Structure 1
Amino acid sequence: MLKNEKAIVVFSGGQDSTTCLFWALKTFKEVEAVTFDYQQRHRKEIECAKAIAQELHVKHHLLDMQLLNQLAPNALTRDQIEITNEEDGELPSTFVPGRNLLFFSFAAVLASQVNAKHIITGVSETDFSGYPDCRDAFIKSLNVSINLSMDKQFVIHTPLMWLDKEETWKLADELHVLDYIRDKTLTCYEGIIGDGCGDCPACQLRNKGLEKYLTTRKGGEA
């Protein structure tokens, strides 16, 4: 049973990964979290992840991935690059090439060191902003490759893969942490905790999903 096993959550302190952290805490006997420092645009992401992990008494690992910043200039690693959505078949300016490939690979190495079989990530193909490394096919392929490369039987879990943002808020509510997720997580590209700036693509996606969920929620109250 999963309740007797250990898991690693790839954790950014955002809505999705924090929802997955609560899901993991309910699903597994022991849970640790790993956050990656790639000199991202808003350093508050790391501070937020640390604070949440500490509050939830989850062992937290911070891994240095600054080489990714050097290799992958984009809107999340360069202040001078404008944040834009997917346009004319081009990937959004916030796409970081190789990020999830590296993150999940290093998470697996860490999992091996701490004797964890399960790796959890909050990627979603339903609301994936056009990122190819959030697709189910990629996750399944990487899971096989990691297992072959390390001769292990890791399982990469994607609890949000087929959920849109409205359904992700519903899951948080079912886990009894909707208010916690709303108030203490950082999704905003401008680094504003909670409901964020309201204007960037991440805030628009998050807030639209919340509004839709609260409209259909019994009582319709925020």
Structure 2
Amino acid sequence: MSDDARRAVILSSGGLDSTTVLAMARSEGYRCYTLSFDYGQRHRAELLAAKRVSEAFSDVEHKVVTLDLGSIGGSALTDTAIDVPEEETQGIPVTYVPARNTVFLAIALGWAEVLGAGDIFIGVNAVDYSGYPDCRPAFINAFERLANVATRAGVEGGGIRIHAPLLDLGKDAIIQRGLALHVDYALTVSCYQATDAGEACGRCESCRLRRQGFEAAGMPDPTRYRTND
């Protein structure tokens, strides 16, 4: 890929959705810079997965930014005193991390300005998702408007575009799109309580959505599940 290709920052969690988005952005000719966050999450395996995914795309630069969202608590993903639910829940679940995507996109926006990138990609989904408010079209549209009044790139440059290409896709359609782009989903981790080795619990909501997606897509599930509990 040439150095003059359009640059884009891709938020990467090492999961199924963000990996598909990375493949989509790359297929559109973007020079991709992946951004992950060590934010105090319990499921540390996602950071290793994000590194594996980025290495699989040889022209990608990968950055990990350290935050401490665990210090404010409020989520089962950052607070060990809150159990990760293994049954379906009503409303916004305790796995919601307060303002997480707002914080992540703000930092991605800063890096995009430094890189001279006018595009940021995020793998949020408003169909097969957990009800998180920061995974909805209204949030993405509002953040893009904010980005274009709060930055030099927005005021004096060519503007910032927030891409959320999975917003209206079911998990099966996402998987089919990724497989068409030769995504190796065995590299990814989606589980909220994965072991450090990347083995999934098979019981949390993220595991259920992932498994149902592969079943609906008619494809084998490459996820490694824990077998001792």
Return the TM-score normalized by structure 1: 0.88
Residues 143-162 of structure 1: pairs in structure 2 closer than 5 A: 143-151=144-152, 152=154, 153-162=159-168
**Which residue number corresponds to residue 212 of structure 2?**
208
Shift, 1:196, TM fit: 2.5
**Which residue number corresponds to residue 190 of structure 1?**
193
**Partner amino acid, structure 1, of 2:62:** H
**Could you tell me whether the CA contact under 8 Å between 1:195 and 1:207 is conserved in 2?**
no
**Which residue number corresponds to residue 178 of structure 2?**
172
**Equivalents in 2 of 1:105, 1:86: separation in Å?**
31
Q: Which of the pair has the greater relative contact order for Cα pairs under 8 Å at 6+ separation? A: 2
**Could you tell me whether the CA contact under 8 Å between 1:184 and 1:194 is conserved in 2?**
no
**Equivalents in 2 of 1:128, 1:107: separation in Å?**
22
Q: Aligned Cα RMSD in Å?
A: 2.1
**Partner amino acid, structure 1, of 2:66:** D
**Could you tell me whether the CA contact under 8 Å between 1:214 and 1:221 is conserved in 2?**
no
**Which residue number corresponds to residue 9 of structure 1?**
10
**Which residue number corresponds to residue 116 of structure 1?**
117
What percentage of residue pairs aligned between the two structures are identical?
A: 36
CA 130–148 in structure 1, closer or farther in 2 if over 3 Å, else same: same
Moved more, 193-202 or 128-137: 193-202
Instruction: Judging by fraction of residues, say which structure has more helix.
Output: 1
**Partner amino acid, structure 2, of 1:124:** N
Return the TM-score normalized by structure 2: 0.86
**Equivalents in 2 of 1:19, 1:100: separation in Å?**
18
**Partner amino acid, structure 1, of 2:75:** N
Moved more, 123-132 or 183-192: 183-192
Query: 1:102-128, CA deviations, whole angstroms, 9 ceiling, x for partnerless residues?
Result: 100110000000111100000011122
**Equivalents in 2 of 1:40, 1:9: separation in Å?**
19
Query: 1:198-217, CA deviations, whole angstroms, 9 ceiling, x for partnerless residues?
Result: 211111110011001117xx
**Equivalents in 1 of 2:88, 2:75: separation in Å?**
13
How many pairs align? 211
Shift, 1:141, TM fit: 0.4
Moved more, 80-89 or 147-156: 80-89
Unmatched tracts of structure 2, length 5 or more:
223-229
Secondary structure of the residue aligned to 1:203 is helix
**Which residue number corresponds to residue 67 of structure 2?**
65
Residues 14-33 of structure 1: pairs in structure 2 closer than 5 A: 14-33=15-34
Query: 1:159-218, CA deviations, whole angstroms, 9 ceiling, x for partnerless residues?
Result: 1000011111111122122xx11x110001121577832211111110011001117xxx
**Equivalents in 1 of 2:211, 2:90: separation in Å?**
25
Stretches of 4+ moved more than 6 A in 1? none
**Could you tell me whether the CA contact under 8 Å between 1:7 and 1:28 is conserved in 2?**
no
**Partner amino acid, structure 2, of 1:186:** V
**Equivalents in 1 of 2:63, 2:149: separation in Å?**
25
**Equivalents in 2 of 1:6, 1:185: separation in Å?**
24
Secondary structure of the residue aligned to 1:52 is helix
